[in-house]
Amino acid sequence: MRRLLPLLILAALLGACDSGDEDDPAARPAAGAPPPPPPAITRAELGEHLAALQRIADRNGGNRAAGTPGHDASADYVAERLREAGWRVRRQPVPFTVFRLRRASLAVDGRRLRRIRDFQVLSYSGSGSATGTLAGAANGCDQGNFGALGSGEIPLAGRGECFFREKARNAELAGAPALVVVGEVHGRRGVPSGTLGVPGIRIPVVLVSFDALGESGVGSPVRIGVDAVSRSSRTENVIAETPGGSGDRVVMAGGHLDSVAGGPGINDNGSGTAALIEAAEALRADPPGARVRLAFWGAEELGLLGSRHYVRSLDGDQRRRIRAYLNLDMVGSPNPVPELYGDGDAKLARVLRRAARPGGLGTVGAGGSSDHAPFQEAGIPVSGLYTGGPEAGSGGRTRDPCYHLPCDTLRHVNRRVLLRMARATAEALGVLSARHK
Q: How many CB atoms lie within 10 A of CB 162?
A: 14
d(CA 51, CA 360): 28
Q: Cα–Cα distances in Å, from 340 out to 287, 352, 360, 375, 425? A: 24, 8, 10, 16, 11
- Encode 183-205: b = buried (16+ Cβ within 10 Å), e = exposed: bebbbebbbbbbbbbbbebebbb
- Which has the closest alpha carbon to 183: 252, 120, 266? 120
> Of the residues 45, 172, 278, 300, which is catalytic?
300
Q: How far is CA 213 from CA 26, 146, 158, 243, 402, in A?
A: 58, 21, 12, 56, 21
CB atoms near residue 233 (< 10 Å): 16
In Å, what is the CA distance from 409 to each residue of 57, 96, 108, 150, 332? 9, 26, 31, 44, 11
Integer Cα distance of 295 and 272 in angstroms: 11
300 belongs to the catalytic site: yes
Q: Counting every residue, how long is the chain?
A: 437
Cα–Cα distance for residue pair 66/54, rounded to 1 Å = 16
Tell me which residue of 367, 399, 392 sits closest to 382, measured CA to CA.
367
Q: Mind telling me the catalytic residues? A: 300
